[in-house]
Amino acid sequence: MGECAVNRWGKGKFRGFSAGSHPTGVVHPLTLELLNEMNYDTSQLRSKSWDEFAAPDSPNLDFVFTVCDRAAAEQCPFWPGQPITAHWGVADPAASEGSDDEKRRFFFRVYRELENRVKIFTSLRIEALDSFALQRRVEEIGRIKLPEGRKQ
């Protein structure tokens, strides 16, 4: 979901990649359903390990945002090029429980939280910020939450 949001709202300014510490090998069906409903092209999405982006021949990463609640406690790999990093934790939608409708609503809520953060991030005037200010801003963005009762 984050990969799609970055690629949509970054509009060529940023290219997003999603990866995890323990990929399942498939993109969750509810993720695909949600993204397809929102007119994202999901044909190129795949489940991938973050190790893929720590390899010497991987794309250069300027920013790395960990999003899974569990990821904050995990040891992240070394990222070549020392990108700016921040934890943007969200609940893991794949771990949601309840009816199919409840799960869909939860996936949508998590998507909106990520999308709001991505919109703020992609609107930053990065060229006007030094690396310390930029680091501070991406960390602040990671603390932004949707109000509990807010429906979108």
Question: Per the domain annotation, does 151 fall within a domain?
Answer: no
pLDDT at 151 over 50: no
User: 143: Cβ–Cβ under 8 A, 6 or more apart, which residues?
Assistant: none
Is residue 39 over pLDDT 50?
A: yes
- Residue 115 is part of a domain; what is its CATH number? 3.40.50.2300
Task: State the DSSP string of the chain.
Answer: -HHHHHHHHSTTS------BSS--SS--HHHHHHHHHTT---TT----BGGGGTSTTSPP-SEEEEEEGGGGGSPPPP-TT--EEEEEEE--GGG--S-HHHHHHHHHHHHHHHHHHHHHHHHS-GGGS-HHHHHHHHHHHTT----TT---
* CB-based burial label for 24 (10 Å; 0-12, 13-18, 19+): exposed
Whether the pLDDT of residue 46 is over 70: the answer is: yes
**Residue 152 resides in a domain:** no
Is 100 a member of any domain? yes
Whether this model's pTM surpasses 0.85: yes
Number of domains in the chain: 1
Residue 107 lies in a domain: yes
Question: Does residue 114 lie in a domain region?
Answer: yes
Mean pLDDT of 33-61: 91
Q: What is the mean pLDDT of residues 14-20?
A: 92
Let me know if residue 150 belongs to a domain.
no
Q: Residue 72 pLDDT > 70, yes or no?
A: no
147 in any annotated domain: no
Percent of the chain at pLDDT exceeding 70: 91
Provide the pLDDT for residue 152.
Answer: 45
> Which domain range does residue 75 map to?
2-141
Segment 59-85 shows an average pLDDT of 79
Residue 34 maps to a domain: yes
The per-residue pLDDT for range 101-117, each reduced to its tens digit, is 999 999 999 999 999 99
Q: What is the pLDDT of residue 140?
A: 95
